[in-house]
Amino acid sequence: MPAYKAPLRDMRFLMNEVFDYPAHYAELSNGKDADPETVGAILEECAKFCQEVLSPLNLSGDDEGCHFSDNQVKTPKGFKEAYEQYVAGGWQGLSHPAEYGGQGLPMSLGLIKSEMMGTANWSFTMYPGLSLGAMNTIMQHASPELKNLYMPPLTEGRWTGTMCLTEPQCGTDLGQVKTRAEPQADGSYRITGTKIFISAGEHDFTDNIVHVVLARLPDAPPGTRGISLFIVPKVQVKADGSLGERNHVVCSAIEHKMGIKASATAVLNFEDSVGHMIAEPNKGLEAMFTFMNTARVGTAVQGIAHAELSYQGALAYAKERRSMRALSGKKEPEQVADALIYHADVRRMLLTQKAIAEGGRAMIYFAAQYSDHMTNSIVEGDQKKYKYWDDRLGFLTPILKGFLTEMGLEAANLGMQVFGGHGYIKEHGMEQIARDARIATLYEGTTGIQSLDLLGRKVLVMTRGKAVREFTGHIARFAMEQMGNSKVRGFATRLARLAAEWNVLTMRVMLAARKDRDAVGAASYHFLMYSGYVTMAYFWALQAAVAAKKLAEGGAEKKEFYKAKLYTAHFYFDHLLPRADGHATSITRPAKSLMKMPVDSFAFE
């Protein structure tokens, strides 16, 4: 397994030179303590924890997996102790209010922390990661009494949280949820039903687990309009915050999975479990979107996490492993053969990984500033401002989740490919990265669901193309500003054309959908991938512009970092961005070639 090294130089480049995080934090009401010195210390300490504590447990956790017996889960050796260090370091409450025991720092710092943790050990990160979504949902939708009861132990990390949506008969189609909620005289509810695929649903880290559960009231209307949201703790909580009797929540099994084996994915049975409603009756799904969007952006981080870790492993191997001679002549004549890194095809794979990891990181860090504005708006009580930033992050969320997880999986597979046959062998850890990455395109809404959310919901229904026009306008303005910059003029020219094309493609889908509703489903995947490639192109051009400026300014700092940015940007535009052209063509192809074949024709003898 590659030993994780936090890419702090690249992270600081994005935070300080590309997106000007210091100025961004200075504008936030909760950003006054996020001064450069404090942020720098946080990054250094988090990197140390991830490199020294979490990374060494990644391979061993995969080997051992979780143990299930008598409805209880024991996590792999070292995981519980690592969580205790995590809690002692105050990491769980980094970006949550001080009134509940947190540090009250901007949300983006929590996301950057999660990137480092997830790259070092994704299975471990799942446990506190699900808690963050539960905390955000409770913070935004629960009553003051429930917040005061549940937020302090969640913020401190003494308890963890989960998201309980899926049931055996339904996955994404939550309109089929059957779990029942019976109101009680004391204002509580009795929850009965089965939930599956519950990440961190049972473990030995904490004394209590707070489940956020979708269920139906007895008089609820059918479909998604009749779903409410409840807090259902594993152990009941007394009015003074102490733990009472064990609730009727039973873990009946944990899944045997392809990857993230050290993360317990539970089947939970709620049997007249005591719960408390959060949000309004029958408005649970709307409230749950707070949790789901948190999880989706977090899953987008998984894409770059696996790309980064696989790249680090593949790069080290490509420098050390020697095979044949480079086509352009001997590069290491004193050796029996040249290192893999001198071969063009290996460089193609390494540069693809690097472009995905660093381009995706830029996309995430940009979106993280939107998250900061959203949470800041909540603190200020400004609903208009909140909606403004929520709409912008809402447009980017399916692109981040869908595109970056697909690209992260590609990067993980390329890491195996660089190793050749050795990549298929467990001891090197590269195949684990690929197995762990595979789930990212599936949970929190598959790539297909993200595609429909982007094109069908965010672009066509909710904004009638306005979301695309606003974001492409942002890209076009950058492109026009850079036309006089000889170092990035080629990038800017291409971006200006793509910004216009993105709008044209959107309009063509809108027109096609008037005649054939299947046109949206047929185009949605290609529309998402096209959107992802163009968005990443913008952020590579942005990084290239900053790097070119730094090189022009001169100075004593080592220049290789900035030169590498320009090299990678050129690679992306030359070798990865052309994929967008194929997706653009497919967006406009008729749906009938997908839909006209009868169902019976899929069968074979």
What is the phi-psi region of residue 372: left when phi exceeds 0, alpha when psi lies from -120 to 50, beta otherwise? alpha
Round to whole Å and give the CA distance between 475 and 482. Answer: 11
Share of the chain above pLDDT 70, in %: 98
Pair 110, 95: CB distance under 8 Å: yes
Question: 498, 582, 584: which is closest to 535 by C-alpha?
Answer: 498
Give 310-328 pLDDT, tens digit per residue: 999 999 999 999 999 999 9
Q: Is the pLDDT of residue 544 over 60?
A: yes
pLDDT at 60: 97
Round to whole Å and give the CA distance between 279 and 289. Answer: 12
Question: Per this entry, what is the length of the chain?
Answer: 605
pLDDT at 295: 63
Give 122-143 pLDDT, tens digit per residue: 999 999 999 998 998 998 899 9
Share of the chain above pLDDT 90, in %: 88
Give 434-458 pLDDT, tens digit per residue: 999 999 999 988 999 999 999 999 9
Read off the pLDDT band of 291 (50, 70, 90): low
Q: Is the pLDDT of residue 604 over 80?
A: no
Q: Is the pLDDT of residue 556 over 80?
A: no
Give 38-47 pLDDT, tens digit per residue: 999 999 999 9
Instruction: Tell me which fold the domain 287-320+354-446 belongs to.
Output: Butyryl-CoA Dehydrogenase, subunit A; domain 3 (1.20.140)
Round to whole Å and give the CA distance between 164 and 57. Answer: 27
| Residue 337, phi then psi, degrees to nearest 5 | -160, 170
Entry pTM: 0.96
Pair 123, 116: CB distance under 8 Å: no
Residue 426: both structure tokens together: 């467990």
| Arithmetic mean of pLDDT over the chain | 95
Give 140-160 pLDDT, tens digit per residue: 899 999 999 999 999 999 999
Q: Is the pLDDT of residue 539 over 70?
A: yes
Residue 311: both structure tokens together: 């790249």
pLDDT at 293: 66
Q: Is the pLDDT of residue 292 over 70?
A: no
Residue 483: both structure tokens together: 């036309």
Q: Is the pLDDT of residue 166 over 70?
A: yes
Read off the pLDDT band of 297 (50, 70, 90): confident
Catalytic positions are 444
User: Check: CATH 3.40.50.1970 for 55-89+121-282?
Assistant: no
Give 498-532 pLDDT, tens digit per residue: 999 999 999 999 999 999 989 999 999 999 999 99
SS3 4: coil
